[in-house]
Amino acid sequence: MKRKLTTLILAGLALAAMTACNSNTTTTTTNTNTARANSTNMSNGNMSKSASNDNMSNMNSDNPMVGGAPMLKTKDIIDNAVNSKDHTTLVAAVKAAGLVDTLKGPGPFTVFAPTNAAFEKLPKGTVDTLLKPESKATLTKILTYHVVAGKQDAASIAKAIEEGKGKATFKTVAGGNLTASIEGKDVILTDEKGGKSKVTIADVMQSNGVIHVVDTVLMPK
């Protein structure tokens, strides 16, 4: 009887020890998994917060993107334009016309800047002809027809259109006139030949003025 009782007691102690060991292992595993989960959640939370901050930073940026590059208000018209991949033709034309120093001057200037796609609307061969040295006078007249002395931002243009009962006329540096109007939600510029160009990006502020991106080249008489 004593041997049986001793055997039962030892068996009971062994079972209790095994149970305790399993319990500790389970608790350790649970704690480890919980720690991992908390670590993952914190990491994801920080990543989400970081992404959110980046988005807010982009939304609050004072430097609009034009042609894949930020337009810095601390830079002049030329220094910003050369960074826009959508204005390589315009930059080449400005250089060919010898207007770089003028548009780097104090101004202020309002420039209606045609994109590469705008120049592509011209008849085939027109741009190549205009970039030739013998066409410098014509090219200069066309380019300065896109420039107005002073800083005319979107608000001042809209106000002028309202005061003009639907139309506003602006004298260009070339000497001709541009007529601004509103069609739907768009500001439309009409040149002296009746051609129309839409402002696609307004109020790109520069250190020496403002740029408004347009989708069609404007032509003087």
Reported as a single tens digit per residue, the pLDDT across 128-146 is 999 999 999 999 999 999 9
Please list, in sequence order, all residues whose beta carbon lies within 8 angstroms of the beta carbon of residue 178, skipping any fewer than 6 positions away: 112, 145, 148, 169, 170, 172, 189, 190, 191, 218
Answer yes or no: do 15 and 104 share one domain: no
Domain that holds residue 25: 1-60
Answer yes or no: do 109 and 194 share one domain: yes
Of 41, 60, 79, the one marking the end of a domain is: 60
When mean pLDDT is compared across 10-19, 173-182, 187-196, the lowest value belongs to 10-19
Q: What is the pLDDT of residues 21-48, one digit of tens each?
A: 444 444 444 444 443 444 333 333 333 3
End-to-end CA distance of the chain: 125
d(C-alpha 90, C-alpha 96), whole Å: 10
- Helix (DSSP H) and strand (DSSP E) numbers for the chain: 8, 9
Place of tokens 């001042």: 156
Q: Are strands 196-206 and 209-214 parallel, antiparallel or unpaired?
A: antiparallel
Answer yes or no: do 41 and 71 share one domain: no
Domain assignment present for 158:
yes
| Structural domain count, the chain | 2
d(C-alpha 18, C-alpha 40), whole Å: 33
What CATH number did the domain enclosing 137 receive? 2.30.180.10
d(C-alpha 47, C-alpha 44), whole Å: 5
* pLDDT score recorded for residue 64: 84
Answer yes or no: do 112 and 125 share one domain: yes
Say whether 55 sits in a helix, a strand or coil.
helix
* pLDDT score recorded for residue 63: 76
Average pLDDT score over residue span 122-133? 96
Closest CA to 100 of 116, 68, 76: 76
